[in-house]
Chain A
Amino acid sequence: MSRKDEELNNEAHEEQTDASREEQARQNRQASAEQSTSRDSGSADPYGNRRDDRIYGSTEMSTHMKSDMPPGAGDHGGLDYKTLPKSTPGWKVIVQELIADKLALFSLIIFVSITAYVFGLTMFLDQAQIVFVDLFAINQPPDEEFRLGTDYGGRDIFGQLIIGTRNSLAIGFLVTLMSVGFGIIYGLVSGYFGGQLDNALMRVVDFFLVLPFLMIVIVFVTIVPSYDIWTFSAIMAAFLWMGTARLIRSLALQEKELDYINASKTLGSSPVKIIFSQLMPNLVGIIIVNGTLSLAANIGIESGLSFLGFGFPEDYPSLGTLLAYATQTQTLQNRWWIWLPAALMILILMLCVRNIGEALRRAGDARQRQS
C-alpha cells in the first residue's frame, strides 16, 4: 500500500468511526428500529420534511459528543479512535445492502438489463422504418414478422415499445437531472444562508406547491412556440423541483451548524466553496435517494402526459403514446397487444426504480439496514 493510499484509508477510517458514533447515538435515541421503517417509506408527504427529526437528533448528538473530546484525545490514551473496530466504508454498505435486499438486487438487474437492451437495440433499429405507415398491415395481432403486432397505421408495436421505453427513460433521466439539480442548488442556498433569504425563497416554494401541476404543464406545452425534448423537459422540471428543494434545505439548515462548516468559514472560504465542495458532498446519499425516487415518479408523469396527448409527438413515441391508443374503444377492447405491453413496461420500470430507491434509502439509514 502506498503512502497516499494509507492516508486516504485513515481519513476514511476517521470519518467512519464518527459515523458509527452517530449511529449509536441515533440508536439510543430511538428505542425501536421498527417504528420508523414504515414511517420513512411513506412518500405521500407533501411537505417532504419527514427526515428532519431523525437527522436533527443525530447531528445534535454528534456535535455534542465531539466537542466533549479535547483535540488530540486519541493520542493520549483514553478513547483511542484508531483502535476502535473498523466500520464498513460507505459504498460497501450500499453494495451489501443491495445484495442483502434480494428484491432490490433483482430490480436493479432487471432495470439495468432493460436499459442496456433498449439503448443497445435502438442503435440498430431504424426509427424511421418503425414509424413508417404500412396500410397493408393494419392492426395485426402478434405473429412472426411483427413480434407484438401492429397499430392502426401498420406500425410495428415491438419497435415502438423499444423506442418508447428508451424515450421515456431518457426523458425521465433528463427531467430528474434538471429538477433535482435545480432543487439541490435552491435548497442549499436557502438552507445555508438562512434568515430572510430563506424565508423569501421558501414562500416561493409554497407558491409553486399550490399550483395545479398537470394543468399548468399542459397549458405551457400547448403555448410554447418551439416544442422539443428540451423545452418539454424544462417545462416539467420547472414544476417538479420543490420537493427536492424543501428536503435539501431542511438538511442544509442542520448541516451548516456543524463544526466543519464553521471551521471553513473561519478560514475564510467563500460561500460558494463551502456550499458546493463541503456541504453538498455530505448530503450526497440523500441526493441519490431523492433522485432515484424522483426518476420513478417522472417516468410515470411523462407517460401520463404523453397518454393525454401533451407529451411527445406521434413520430417520436414514448410509452404513454402507445397507451394513448387505448383511448379508442376498439383498441382497448380487442387489441391488447398495442397497449398492454407498454402498460406493463411502465409498471416494471417504476417498480424497479422505486425498489432500488427504497433500498438505497435503507442503506443510508443504519437502523433500517438488513445486512
Chain B
Amino acid sequence: MIKFTLRRLLITFPQLVLLSILVFFLGSLMPGDALSGMIDPSIPAEAIQARREALGLDNPWYIQYRDWVVAMFQGDFGNSIFHQRPVLDVIGDRLLNTIWLSLFSVFIIYLIGLPLGLISGRYKDSLLDSAITGYTYLGFATPTFVFGLVLLWIFGYHFGVFPTNGSVAAGLEPGSLDYILSKINHLILPSFSIALIGLVGTVQYLRSGVIEAQQKDYVMLARAKGVKSTALYVKHIFRNAIIPIAAFFGYELVGLLGGSIFIEWVYAYPGMGALFLESISTRDFSVANVLILFYGFLTILGALLSDIILSIVDPRIRIK
C-alpha cells in the first residue's frame, strides 16, 4: 500500500515540473510583466531599467524560472495588475465560494446518482429503467452551460424562486443564520445545474456495474443461500458496483472545481472560474497564470487521489 502510493507519487513529480514549465512559458508569452501595472510616464526610463534588473526580468529564462519557483515556495505568487493586490489574496477571496459549489454539487451527484443507478440496474428493462436511461442519454448530449441557462431562465426569472446571481444577499452579517441560509439559497440553482448533468456518468457506471455483478457466481451463491433481496443488493452487489465510482471520486471533485467555469459565468457566481474569465478579459494575466497552475495542480492531485482510493477499495490494482 505504502509502496504503491510512493510509486504513484513518483509519477506525479515530473508532471508537476512539466506543468510549471508550461505555465511559466505561457506567462512569458502573455503581454505585460511584473512592472506593467506600476509604470506611469513620470518615472524615468533608467529607474524602470534599474527596477527590471533588480527583479531579474532580464535574466535568462532558466534563472527566471528558478526564481519564480523559489518565490512560489515562499508563498509569493506575484501581484495582480488589475487589483493591485497579491494574487494569492485575490484568489483567496474566491476560493471558498468555488469549494462550496463543488462540494454541494458532488453531494447532489451522489445523493441522486447512486439511487438512480441502483434502481436502473436492479429493475433492468422496466419502465423506470427506460426513463432513467433516457435521461442519461439526454444528459450526455446537453452541455452544462445550456442547461444552466435554461434552469436560470425557468426558476430564476420565470418563477423567480431562486436568486439569479451572486453568492450571498447583500447586507447580511457574515456568520449569522440568515447569511448561511442565503448562501445555500444562492448555491441551489448553480449546483443543481452542475449535478443534474454531471450525474449521468455515475448513473451509467453504476447501472452497468449492478447488472454485471448480478450474474457473478458469488451473488448466485448468496441468492441460493437465501439472502434477502434487499440485503443482497446492499451488501453484495452495491459494494462491488461502487468500485469504479469510488475510483472516480478524485476526478469528479477536481473536475467540478475546474468545470464550474461555465456555471459560475452563467450565474455570475463569484468563484475562481469566474475570476479566471474576468482576469483574462481585464488582461490581468498574473492572476490567470496562477489559476492555471492551481487547476493543473488540482487535476494532478485528483488523479493521484483517485488511484489511491482505487488501490484501497480494490486491492487487486496494487499488484501492478
Residues of A participating in the B interface, judged by any CB pair closer than 8 Å: 31-32, 34-39, 41-44, 46, 203, 206-207, 209-212, 214-216, 218-219, 222-223, 296, 300, 303-304, 307-310, 323, 326-327, 329, 332-333, 336, 339, 343, 346-347, 350-351, 354-355
Residue of chain B at shortest CB distance from A220 = B26
Q: With an 8 A cutoff between CB atoms, is B78 at the interface?
A: no
Can you list, as one digit per residue, whether each of B1-32 has a CB less than 8 Å from chain A (1) or not (0)? 00000000001001100110010001001110
| Count of interface residues, chain B, beta-carbon cutoff 8 Å | 57
Q: With an 8 A cutoff between CB atoms, is B164 at the interface?
A: yes
B252 smallest CB distance to A (angstroms): 9
Would you give 12 A-B contacts (Cβ < 8 Å), ordered by A? A38-B133, A44-B200, A211-B299, A212-B258, A215-B258, A219-B280, A223-B30, A308-B262, A310-B280, A323-B149, A332-B152, A332-B157
Most buried by A among B145, B149, B152, B251: B145
Choose among B146, B211, B248 the residue that contacts A34 (Cβ–Cβ < 8 A).
Answer: B211
Q: With an 8 A cutoff between CB atoms, is B300 at the interface?
A: yes
Residue of chain B at shortest CB distance from A307 = B145
Residue of chain A at shortest CB distance from B293 = A212
**Contact A210/B146 with A42-B201, A222-B280, A332-B152 known, Cβ cut-off 8 Å:** no
Interface residues of B in 127-143 (CB under 8 A from A): 133, 137-138, 140-143
**Contact A212/B292 with A42-B205, A222-B280, A223-B30 known, Cβ cut-off 8 Å:** yes
Q: With an 8 A cutoff between CB atoms, is B110 at the interface?
A: no
Determine if B138 and A351 form an interchain contact, defined as CB atoms under 8 angstroms apart. yes
Choose among B19, B30, B208, B276 the residue that contacts A210 (Cβ–Cβ < 8 A).
Answer: B19
Residues of chain A within 8 A (CB-CB) of B31 are 223
Residues of chain A within 8 A (CB-CB) of B266 are 327
Choose among A39, A218, A222 the residue that contacts B208 (Cβ–Cβ < 8 A).
Answer: A39
A211 to B20, CA, bound (A): 11
Residue of chain A at shortest CB distance from B201 = A44
Determine if B26 and A35 form an interchain contact, defined as CB atoms under 8 angstroms apart. no
A164 to B141, CA, bound (A): 19
Residue of chain A at shortest CB distance from B304 = A210
Residues of chain B within 8 A (CB-CB) of A326 are 149, 153
A46 to B15, CA, bound (A): 17
Choose among A39, A308, A343 the residue that contacts B261 (Cβ–Cβ < 8 A).
Answer: A308
Residues of chain B within 8 A (CB-CB) of A222 are 30, 280
Residue of chain A at shortest CB distance from B133 = A38
Determine if B153 and A46 form an interchain contact, defined as CB atoms under 8 angstroms apart. no
A100 to B106, CA, bound (A): 38
Q: With an 8 A cutoff between CB atoms, is B288 at the interface?
A: yes
Residue of chain B at shortest CB distance from A348 = B141
Q: With an 8 A cutoff between CB atoms, is B186 at the interface?
A: no
A329 to B296, CA, bound (A): 33
B270 smallest CB distance to A (angstroms): 15
Q: With an 8 A cutoff between CB atoms, is B42 at the interface?
A: no
A36 to B109, CA, bound (A): 24
B284 smallest CB distance to A (angstroms): 12
Choose among B26, B143, B248, B291 the residue that contacts A304 (Cβ–Cβ < 8 A).
Answer: B143
A335 smallest CB distance to B (angstroms): 11
Choose among A34, A215, A310 the residue that contacts B295 (Cβ–Cβ < 8 A).
Answer: A215
Choose among A42, A43, A303 the residue that contacts B143 (Cβ–Cβ < 8 A).
Answer: A303
Most buried by B among A43, A219, A326: A219
Q: With an 8 A cutoff between CB atoms, is B124 at the interface?
A: yes
Q: With an 8 A cutoff between CB atoms, is B36 at the interface?
A: no
A341 smallest CB distance to B (angstroms): 12
A34 to B212, CA, bound (A): 9
Determine if A332 and B211 form an interchain contact, defined as CB atoms under 8 angstroms apart. no
Choose among A36, A206, A333, A355 the residue that contacts B157 (Cβ–Cβ < 8 A).
Answer: A333
Residues of chain A within 8 A (CB-CB) of B295 are 212, 215
Residue of chain B at shortest CB distance from A35 = B212
A323 smallest CB distance to B (angstroms): 7
Q: With an 8 A cutoff between CB atoms, is B281 at the interface?
A: yes
Residues of chain B within 8 A (CB-CB) of A351 are 137-138, 141
Residues of chain B within 8 A (CB-CB) of A41 are 204, 208
A219 to B291, CA, bound (A): 11
Can you list, as one digit per residue, whether each of B26-61 has a CB less than 8 Å from chain A (1) or not (0)? 100111000000000000000000000000000000
